[in-house]
Each structure stands twice: as structure tokens, then as C-alpha cells.
Amino acid sequence: MEKNDIINFQALEKELQAALTADEKYKRENAAKLRAVEQRVASYEEFRGIVLASHLKPLERKDKMGGKRTVPWNCHSTQGSISQDEATEIFQEKVLLQPETSAEFYRNWRRHLRSGPERYQALLQLGAPRLGHLFQMDVGFGLLGELLVALADHVRPADWRAVLEILRSLAGTRRFTLNLSLLSQAETEGCRDLFQKLQTMSTPRPMKEGLSQEEQGLETQPGEAQEGKRLLQELRGRYQVN
């Protein structure tokens, strides 16, 4: 066998490794594209960002940031459910959760806020005025229903008025009626459930000993409760809840 006919196994190995790497990249990015389509991303930039970040791996439970903290960065690796207080702590430690645009909110909502308690705390933290400013043009296709479900699943008596203000803010956005008509059946049921809970919370109850003012909710604020009830009835009409 002549010298030119000698097989260079090292070169073949490198070529094979490059082919495997390219194939893995293609499969990974293709899967990311499918996820982006399923998530109904708001813009091409969001779509492109998901694809470019497809090589990133989620942090494990043991991964932590610098400084003193006891909550795992990746709360989704923790078995079992988390409490409302834990969700608040996790939310406060996350980054990039002060969006300047609706697109930034959408990205944070989908990437960083995966659990119901986290999403609920995020909405309360931002507040009605901020949300109204972010969504003054449009809530975004598919997002209104997710917001309503997050509120419905975790609303508390102490947050009664804050949730009403958030609902009023969302109802004032452009194309609200159209977005409302596009809710899925589950999201529509979540909206009805939310208003049912708010209606129940608006009913005065006897004062209970041993509860803080926050835990008493409306029981210690009759004047504000009356105003809130009027707002609640107005919102029931706007959200088409009978």
C-alpha cells in the first residue's frame, strides 16, 4: 500500500465528531423552534432568542448564586409545592423582572415565571399602574387568559382590592374585547372562578380573634369594601361574567 493510501483515523474521528456535533445542534435548535411556536412567542426577536439559547441547560437544585440564600435558584427541581412566602422570596431574587415593554414582560413570564405562585406574586409586585402601562397597546395573543388563571388560582382576601385594580387595568387595554373572546374554555372557566372568589371575599364576615389586619382582609375596611364592590360589579360586566 502506497503512502497516499494510508487512512488517517485521527482526521476521520474529527470529521465524525464534527458531524455528530452539527447533527446535535440541528436537533436541539429544531426542538427549540417547535417550543417557540407552541408558546406563541410575541415577536421574531423572542423566537430567535429562544433558538439561540437552546444550548443552555437549566440549573440543578444544588446550583446557587453568590451570597447568603437558602432557596434553590431552580425552584422547579424542588419536589412538592412551594408556599406563598417561598414564591415571594424566589420572585424577589430573580433578575430581569422589571420589564420596560410588553415583549420583555412576555419573555420573563414564559422563561422565569413558570409556577402559579411566582406568576401571581409577579403581578402583585408590578401592580395595576405598571401593568396598564406595559399593555396600553395590547395584552398580547394568549396572554390574557394566563394572567386570569394565575389570579384565579392564588387570589387571597388580603389582595382583594389589588386584584380588582389589576383587572380594571387589563380591561382598559386595546383590543381587550377581542382578547376576551379568544380565551380557551379552561381560561374562561378560570375567569368565572376568579370573579366567584372575589364575590365571596367581598361578603362581610364576623371578626375573628387572633387574625392580623391583613388576614382579616375586607372585614376591617367597610368603606373601601363598598367602593370595591361597585368596582367588582362593573368588572363583571366588562369581563362578561354573569
* Domain ranges within the chain, ordered by starting residue: 12-55, 95-203+216-242
pLDDT value for 155: 96
Per-residue pLDDT, 107: 86
- Separation between Cα atoms, residue 76 and residue 60, nearest integer Å: 9
Enumerate residues 6+ apart whose C-beta is below 8 A from 33.
47, 50, 51
- Res 61: pLDDT: 53
Residues 6+ apart with CB under 8 A from 64: 72, 73
Reading the block at residue 229, the C-alpha cell is: 364592590
What does the chain come to in residues? 242
Q: Which three cell numbers stand for residue 115?
A: 409556577
Using a cut of 0.85, tell me whether the model's pTM lies above it. Answer: no
Residues of the chain with pLDDT under 50: 1, 64-80, 82, 87-96, 219-220
Q: For residue 231, what pLDDT is reported?
A: 93
Taking the C-alpha atoms of residue 112 and residue 105, their distance in angstroms, rounded to an integer, is 10
pLDDT value of position 177: 92
What's the confidence (pLDDT) of residue 83? 54
